[in-house]
Copies of this chain bind each other. A is one copy, B any other.
Amino acid sequence: MPMKTPDEYLGSLRRMKPRVFVQGQKVENYVDHPLLRPAINTLALTYAMAQDPQYRELMTATSNLTGEVINRFNHLYLGPDDLVKKLNMVRTCAQKALCILRCMGGEALNGMALGTYAIDQKHGTDYHQRFLKFARFFQDNDLICAQALTDVKGDRSLRPYQQADPDLFLRVVERRKDGIVVRGAKDHISAAVGSHYIFAMPSRALTEKDRDYAVAFVVPVDVKGLTHIVNTTLKSAEHQGDHPVSSKYSTVESLLIFDDVFVPWEHVFMCGEWDAMEPMLFSFATTHRHSRCACSAGVTDLLTGGASLIARYNGIEKASHVREKLTELSTISETYYSCGLAASIFATKTASGYYAPNMLYANVGKTWTAKLFHDSTRMVQEIAGGLIDTVPSVSDCENPELSSAIDKYLKGRADVPTDERLKVFRMLQDMTTFGTVCYWSTISATGAGSLQGAKIMVARETDFAAKERMVKELGDMPA
């Protein structure tokens, strides 16, 4: 089946009826809701770019399952080259729309592909074939899925089975002949609105006592019993002109409540195999951090471009401290990207034949994105100056009592129209202080797993013993 056009994508969403709440209101037409549409626009961009000759090579791949040309976001990684291309695709998309929202689906697909294989190897199950059947359908129909990973977790010092309320991690509450019933909640689920399906998998290592929590499956976004409580980076439908970035392209995150949701066996990809799920989880986490190296680079490219523009509009583009900061921003982008590249080049071939990004380099890259994003916004704000905070609203500019005064007094360099200058201030505000950064600064600190989580993986993947041996060899010491 050919890839969808953006319109076909919107049409496919309209045919679904998820139970969605935004700011306390139940939403009937979620596709056209002013707070949700910018996120759907972002996702639609991935369909448009796949049709665009300029981006077609970057945005598409040939499926190993179907032999058809598919959107690259839905592709399984068959080698380092696929990972390099995914990296470049994500960076390019982020340069256009910041968080492109579709990464997690492909990451879940890849995690499932190698993860179901690993479970089957240990337990003799047939999850891998089930999954491949679903994957073919998914690629064929050019669908989007969200990845429901993070449980609500309750008291972080307790394991799932130790919680006062057993539902604080998603779990199987009933095993039936035709499928399973699950209960619990997943939080911060990006693009659950805008997707066709939701992949769920556990968010942490489990023990034998946590067996019921070891469950992975896929459900349609409008499955019975599923409720979406939604947050968006755009917070108000009013004054959208003051938020030129997030009213155009935005993110959307859901608290998903699974109130005894039924999943037929054909869509269950793990159920109880708590001791075999590491490959699935690690693959997903690593692949997501691999994407983060690219999207953070793309977002930093935008910050750099905006800072460079506003420096010129203000007449300070030659100041040495401005040059220094622009250079540092560029250094930061390329550092993220370099780590992502290394994670691609040194990808691991798993038993399933599918590749996962190198865990060490993906986590090194994620570490930097968490450490340097806030400082990047600081540099952009220093270059822009106070108007990034106090730029007059579009309503001010449109009020005839004020417009000429604003036009006169907020002019920067004489050859740049005031409204163009103010637009860039609003964009930088949107990207570094408002809507967008709320999301970006937080996901830089906590998304794709926490900084601390990335550090733990760096430690795990570093061969300290080998490095100790180097020292002993240099010191002519016994091994």
- Judge whether B388 and A308 touch: CB under 8 Å: no
Choose one: B155, B308, B386, B477; the contact of A420 (CB below 8 Å).
Answer: B477
Q: Of B24, B239, B338, B459, which one neighbours A396 at CB under 8 angstroms?
A: B24
**Contact assessment for A231 and B475 in the assembled complex, using a CB-CB cutoff below 8 Å:** no
Which of B306, B318, B442 has a CB less than 8 Å from the CB of A381? Answer: B442
A6-14, A63-71, A162-170, A209-217: which lies at the interface: A162-170
Q: Which residues of B contact A239 (CB under 8 A)?
A: 23, 235
B305 adjacent to A381 (CB under 8 Å): no
Contact between chains at B338 and A165 (CB < 8 Å): no
Given contacts A381-B446, A445-B381, contact A396 B452 (CB under 8 A): no
A23 and B395 contact, CB distance less than 8 A: yes
User: Which of B158, B165, B231, B442 contacts A408 (CB under 8 A)?
Assistant: B165
**Residue A324 at the chain B interface, CB threshold 8 Å:** yes
Whether A150 and B386, one on each chain, are in contact in the complex, defined by CB atoms closer than 8 angstroms, is: yes
A391: B residues at CB distance < 8 A: 231
Flag if B424 contacts A301 (CB, 8 Å): no
Q: How far is the CB of A295 from chain B (nearest CB, A)?
A: 14
Mark out the residues of chain A between 340 and 380 whose CB falls within 8 Å of any chain B CB in the assembled complex.
341-342, 345, 360-361, 364-365, 367-368, 370-371, 373-375, 377-378
Set B244, B304, B314, B339: member contacting A155, Cβ < 8 A: B314
**Does more than half of chain A's interface fall in helix, strand or loop, or is it mixed?**
helix
The distance from the CB of A477 to the nearest CB of chain B, in whole angstroms, is 6
CA distance A330 to B360 in the complex (A): 9
- A456: chain B residues at CB < 8 Å are 327
Cα–Cα distance between A371 and B372 once the two chains are bound (Å): 13
Partner of A441, one of B95, B381, B413, B451: B381
A27 within 8 A of B: no
Most chain B beta-carbon contacts within 10 A, residue among A150, A315, A393: A393
Give, as a whole number of angstroms, the nearest-CB distance from A285 to chain B.
15
B477 and A95 contact, CB distance less than 8 A: no
* Chain B residues within 8 Å of A458, by CB: 327, 330-331, 334
Would you give the shortest CB distance from A304 to chain B, in whole angstroms? 5
Task: Please tell me if the beta carbons of B231 and A187 are within 8 angstroms of each other in the complex.
Answer: no
Q: How large is the interface on A (under 10, 10 to 19, 20 to 34, 35 or more residues)?
A: 35 or more
Query: A462 on the interface (CB 8 Å rule)?
Result: yes
CB distance B395 to A24 under 8 Å?
yes
A402 and B24 contacting across the interface, CB-CB below 8 Å: yes
| Chain B residue nearest to A433 in the complex (CB) | B438
Tell yes or no: A2 within 8 A of B by CB: no
Chain B residues positioned under 8 Å from A399 (CB to CB): 21, 24-25
**How many copies of this chain sit in the oligomeric assembly?**
4
Contact A405/B341 with A24-B393, A187-B390, A302-B467 known, Cβ cut-off 8 Å: no
A392 interface hit (Cβ, 8 Å) = yes
In the complex the two chains form, is B390's CB within 8 Å of A188's CB?
yes
- CB pair A24–B410 under 8 Å, yes or no, is no
A301 touches B470 (CB 8 A): yes
Stretch at the interface among A107-115, A173-181, A253-261: A253-261
A423 CB within 8 Å of chain B: yes
State the CA gap A70–B94 with chains docked (Å): 45
Chain B residues whose C-beta falls within 8 Å of the C-beta of A235 in the assembled complex: 235-236, 239
Q: Is the CB of B409 within 8 A of A152?
A: yes
User: A330-B458, A382-B452 known; A253 and B390 CB under 8 Å?
Assistant: yes
The reply on A54 being an interface residue by CB < 8 A is no
A439 near B: Cβ within 8 Å?
yes
Asked if B442 and A154 sit within 8 Å, CB to CB, the answer is: no
A-B contacts, 21 of them at CB < 8 A, read A24-B394, A152-B409, A184-B409, A188-B389, A231-B391, A236-B238, A253-B390, A309-B468, A327-B458, A330-B464, A331-B364, A334-B360, A335-B338, A335-B364, A338-B364, A341-B342, A370-B382, A374-B374, A381-B442, A389-B446, A423-B477
Closest A-B pairs by Cβ, 4 of them: A24-B395, A305-B467, A320-B320, A389-B442
Beyond A255-B410, A304-B462, 10 extra complex contacts between A and B, CB < 8 Å: A96-B473, A157-B318, A158-B315, A236-B236, A245-B474, A253-B389, A330-B462, A331-B367, A335-B338, A385-B450
